[in-house]
Chain A
C-alpha cells in the first residue's frame, strides 16, 4: 500500500496558495465572480419580494438561496486551469516532476489549495449575504429566509461538495489541456450540471426535499472521491513532459508508466 506524505502535500498547498495570491488576474476574478452571482438573490430578496404577502414568502425565498451555491462551483475554474496547464506553460512542471513527490500528492495538494480559498470565500459571501438580509431586508422577508433552516444548512454543507466537483473537473481539464486559456474555457463546463440542477429546481421539475438533498449530497461525495482518483491516474509524468502517453514498459509486465 502506498503512503502519501502529508509534508509534501502541505508543501504543494503552501506554494500554490502563495503563487495564487501574487497573481492579480486570479485575485481579481476570485473577488469579482461571487459578486456576479449575488445579483440574482439580492434583486429577488431586496426588490422583487417587496410586494409579496407574508404568507407566500416561504416558497419564494428558497430558490434565491440555492442560487448562491453557484458561487463555489464557478470559482475553482480559474485556479484549476492554472494549476497544471499553467505550470506546464511556464516550464515549472518538469522540475516538479523530477522530485520524489508522487502524482497523488501533487493532485491532492493542488485540490486542497483550490478548496481552501473557494470555501473560505463562499462562506464569507454567504455570511455577508445573510447578515445583509437580517439587517436590511423587510422584516417578513428576513423572517421567511431564516425559517429555511434546512436550506441554509444545505448551503453550507453543499458548498465544499460542489466546489469539490468543480475542482476535479477543472483539474482533469488542466491535466489534459496544453494551454491555460483552453483549460479555463473547458473548465467552465464543470458548472453545467449544477446549473442544470438549479434550473430544474427553478422550473419546479424537481423539489428540494430532504431526501433528494441527502441523496444528492452522498452521490456528489462519491463522485468527487472517485473523480479525484481518476485525475491522479490521468496525471501521467511521461505525457505531461513529452506530450505523448507512456508506451508500455517492457521491463516489467505490471505497470504501464513510471507512475507515482
Chain B
C-alpha cells in the first residue's frame, strides 16, 4: 500500500530541479478589467508559497487560471511540469489539487462518500486506504460516517483539506483555507499545513492574513493586480525598511535633536510620542551601544533600546498603501 505522502518527495512531478510551478507574464482580463496582470514567479518543489493580497487582488482568479478552470488572456505557465494549454487540462488537473474558497462538500453525503466520489474522479487505486489516511491526517477519522451537512465550518474545511490530500498532488492550491474560521480552528488548519510542509508537499496558499503567511510560508508574493514584491518574509522586511532603533526614556528628552545629531551612526530620527524615539541607523549593532553611552552621558533615564521589528504586515501595508495613493492621483 503506497503511503499517502512520501517524505520530502512530491511524487507525481517530473525531474528534480525543475520548479513545481513556473508562471510567466500571466494575465487575465474580464472584459476590460484586469483581474491580474503580467504576473511572473516560480514555486520550487516542497515550497510553501504564499500568495498575499487584499480583496479583489486577483488571488482566486490566479488559482483558477493555474488550475485550468479559466483560460488566461495572455502569458504562459508550466504547472507540475505540464504547459498550461487547453489540451493539457485533464493532465494538469490529474496532478494538482485545489481547495476553493468554499470547500463545497455534498452536504447530503457522508464524509467518506464525499471523499469516495473524488477518489474515483481522480481514478485512484486503493481508494479506501487513501481515504482513511487522509482523514487520519486531518484528525477526522472518527467523523468518517457523519453527513457533511452536520459538520461545523471548521470541520468542513478539514474535509476539504482531506479531499485535496487524496490524490497526493504535486501541487496543492489552497484558496484562503482559514477564511471564516475561529482562531482555534484556524490554528488547527495552520498546524496541518505546517505538517504538510514538513513532509515536503508543495503548497500554493492564498491569504490576506499576513500573520498566516509569515507563519506558514517559505516565500510570499504580494499581489495587487500586478505582483508587487516577492521573497522570503524576512528578506521583504529588510528590503523595504531601513533598520531602526527604538528608544524609550522615562521622561521626554529636553533637547533630542542636539543629542541625536551628535551621533554619527544615526542617520535621522523621529519621535511619535514623548519619551519614544525611532532612529534610522545603518547597523544597529554599532549604533546601539553608542546611543546608550550618549544618552546616559546626557543624564537620560533609559528604559529600553531595541531594534525595530517590522512585521510582514508593515511590508504589506506599505505596498498596498502605495497602491491606494497611486490610484488616487
Q: Which residues of B contact A56 (CB under 8 A)?
A: none
- The size bracket of the interface on A is 35 or more
B311 CB → nearest A CB, Å: 33
Which residues of A are found within 8 Å of B103, using beta-carbon distances? 95
- B83-102: CB near A (< 8 Å → 1, else 0) gives 01111011101100111101
Judge whether A94 and B109 touch: CB under 8 Å: no
- Closest residue on chain B to residue A259 by CB atoms: B86
**Is the CB–CB distance between A95 and B104 below 8 Å?**
yes
Measured in the bound complex, the distance between the Cα atoms of B74 and A241 in whole Å is 19
**Chain A positions within 8 Å of B98 at CB level:** 95, 98
B122 interface contact, C-beta 8 A = yes
How far, in whole Å, are A251 and B122 apart by their CA atoms in the complex? Answer: 27
Q: Does A130 contact B (CB under 8 A)?
A: no
Task: Produce 1/0 per residue, B48-61, CB < 8 A to A.
Answer: 00000000000000
A60 vs chain B, min Cβ distance (A):
46
Q: Closest residue of chain A to B110, judged by CB?
A: A18
Q: A8-B120, A242-B30 are in contact. Are A18 and B113 (CB under 8 A)?
A: yes
Contact A11–B120 (Cβ < 8 Å): yes
> Most chain-A Cβ atoms within 10 A of its Cβ — which of B93, B107, B109?
B93
A101 in the interface (beta carbon within 8 A): yes
B225 at the interface (CB under 8 A from A): no
Of A85-93, A145-153, A167-175, the segment with at least 4 beta carbons within 8 Å of chain B is: A85-93
- CA gap between A101 and B94 in the complex, in Å: 9
Q: Which residues of B contact A58 (CB under 8 A)?
A: none
User: Are A94 and B69 in contact, CB atoms less than 8 angstroms apart?
Assistant: yes
Shortest distance between the CB of B225 and any CB in chain A (Å): 17
Instruction: From the candidates B64, B67, B73, B84, name the one contacting A247 in the complex (CB within 8 A).
Output: B73
Please state if A98 and B71 are interface contacts (CB–CB under 8 Å). Answer: no
The complex places the Cα of A101 from the Cα of B73 at a distance, in Å, of 24
With A8-B120, A100-B121, A252-B85 as given contacts, are A258 and B108 in contact (CB-CB < 8 Å)?
no
Q: Are A92 and B106 in contact (CB under 8 A)?
A: yes
Q: Which residues of B contact A102 (CB under 8 A)?
A: 90
Asked if B117 is at the interface of the complex by the 8 Å CB criterion, the answer is yes
One of B69, B100, B121, B160 near A258 (C-beta < 8 A)? B69
Q: Let me know if A246 is at the binding interface, CB within 8 A.
A: yes
Q: Is B10 an interface residue (CB 8 A)?
A: no
Does A48 touch B at the CB level, under 8 Å? no
B87: which A residues are within 8 A, CB to CB? 252, 255
Is there a chain B Cβ closer than 8 Å to A15's Cβ? Answer: yes
Shortest distance from the beta carbon of A222 to any chain B beta carbon, whole Å: 29
Task: Output the least CB separation between B89 and chain A (Å).
Answer: 5
Closest A residue to B65 by CB, please name it: A258
If A19-B108, A257-B71 are given as contacts, then 7 extra A-B residue pairs at C-beta distance below 8 Å, sorted by A number, are A7-B120, A95-B100, A97-B69, A98-B93, A99-B118, A99-B122, A242-B70
For the complex of A and B, the 5 pairs showing the least CB-CB separation, nearest first, are A11-B120, A255-B86, A99-B121, A98-B98, A22-B108
List, sorted by A's number, 18 A–B pairs whose CB atoms are closer than 8 Å.
A5-B123, A7-B120, A10-B120, A93-B104, A96-B104, A98-B67, A98-B98, A99-B121, A100-B94, A100-B123, A237-B70, A238-B71, A241-B64, A250-B74, A257-B71, A258-B68, A258-B89, A259-B86
